Amino acid sequence: MPDPSPLSRRIDALPDTFCRLMSDPAVSESLARADESKRRLAGMLSLDGVEQSAIDEYRRDWLARYVYDSNAIEGSTLSLKDTEQVLEGGFLPARAPARYIFAARGVADGMAYVKRFVDRRHPLDIDVIRRIHEITALDVQPALRGEFRPYGYIAHIRGAAVKTADPLEIRDDLEVLVAAVNGSDAHPILRAAGFHAMFENIHPFADGNGRTGRQILNMMLMQAGYEPIAIKHDAGRTYAELLEQWQAYGDPAPLARMVANCVVREQDRIGKIVSDIRRGHAMAGHARGVRK
């Protein structure tokens, strides 16, 4: 039997990698902040009608930002306003390339599917991965959506010193990766970050791997009760470098911290919305009491 590829060895080593990350003080601190933020948010439930309406509006805005950022990382020239128009089903942006319009619609539709999988407590598996890609990569040729790279199709990650999986090894690598994260008792954010790094390293599809990988990252976060994250497009180079540090140089800590910090930011934003509304209600109630 031939020796496993460096990528296969990195996937096999994920349990040890997770253990090392848990012993990293900076990573542990970031994870603790994410968990504390999650507890604070949970402690604010249940929401009244005004609060729920404000959160629903925030999440609609978040989806537009997420779609915009995820596609901009991949080179889309749609602006945030253009993206909002596409998602609202209004007039399509003038002179916008059709592939970017399809890409925006695909990421939004893909996130809707992700939420369904989360609501149904559907475990991560190969069929889910393929389905998420099929829906998300709406700008990709239909014959390639949901299908792994064919034999002879070698993928290259632009600007990165990372070798992707041989097409003949894609399914085996993905199956081992899925089993490794599903069977791990490591912190959920570490498992999500680890899956994301190795998924992008495998690069199983001909196109749309980044967008699909970020959908699955959010699926794993939401399954664990965290808020989904939107990695800003202007951090794209840094984000790519953090992926590469894990994939090519064996340094997973920076990416793990980034994911945890993004979770904290999203959860704190939602918590602030609720706190501000309640503070406003309290001040209004106090004012009425004074007038009496």
* Catalytic (active-site) positions: 203
Main-chain phi, psi angles of 55, to 5 degrees? -70, -40
Point out the annotated binding site.
207-214
What DSSP character marks residue 105?
Answer: H
Q: Which residues contact 199 (CB under 8 A, 6 or more apart)?
A: 174, 177, 209, 213, 216
- SS3 state at 254: helix
- Cα distance between residue 206 and residue 75, in whole Å: 16
| Cα diameter, the chain | 85
Q: Which residues contact 227 (CB under 8 A, 6 or more apart)?
A: 41, 221, 263, 266, 267, 270
Q: Which residues contact 30 (CB under 8 A, 6 or more apart)?
A: 256, 257, 260, 261, 264
Helix locations, the chain, DSSP H = 6-12, 14-22, 25-43, 49-73, 80-88, 98-119, 126-136, 170-182, 188-202, 209-223, 236-249, 253-291
Point out the annotated binding site for ATP.
207-214
